[in-house]
Amino acid sequence: MSEVERTPIPCPFTYAKGHRCPGIIYRAVGYGPKRGRNFAAREDVRKYRLWCSEKDDHAGAVPTISGKLRMEFYPDQLAPDVEDKLWDYGIANG
**Cβ atoms 29, 23 nearer than 8 A:** no
Q: Is the pLDDT of residue 88 over 70?
A: yes
Residue pLDDT, tens place only, 12-62: 888 878 889 999 999 999 998 888 888 888 889 999 999 999 988 877 665
Q: What is the pTM (predicted TM-score) of this model? A: 0.79
Q: How far is CA 31 from CA 6, 21, 22, 80, in A?
A: 24, 24, 25, 19
pLDDT exceeds 60 at position 67? no
- Tell me which residue of 76, 20, 7 sits closest to 48, measured CA to CA: 76
Q: What are phi and psi of 39, to 5 degrees?
A: -150, 165
Kindly tell me the burial class for residue 61, based on how many C-beta atoms sit within 10 Å of its own C-beta (0-12, 13-18, 19 or more).
middle
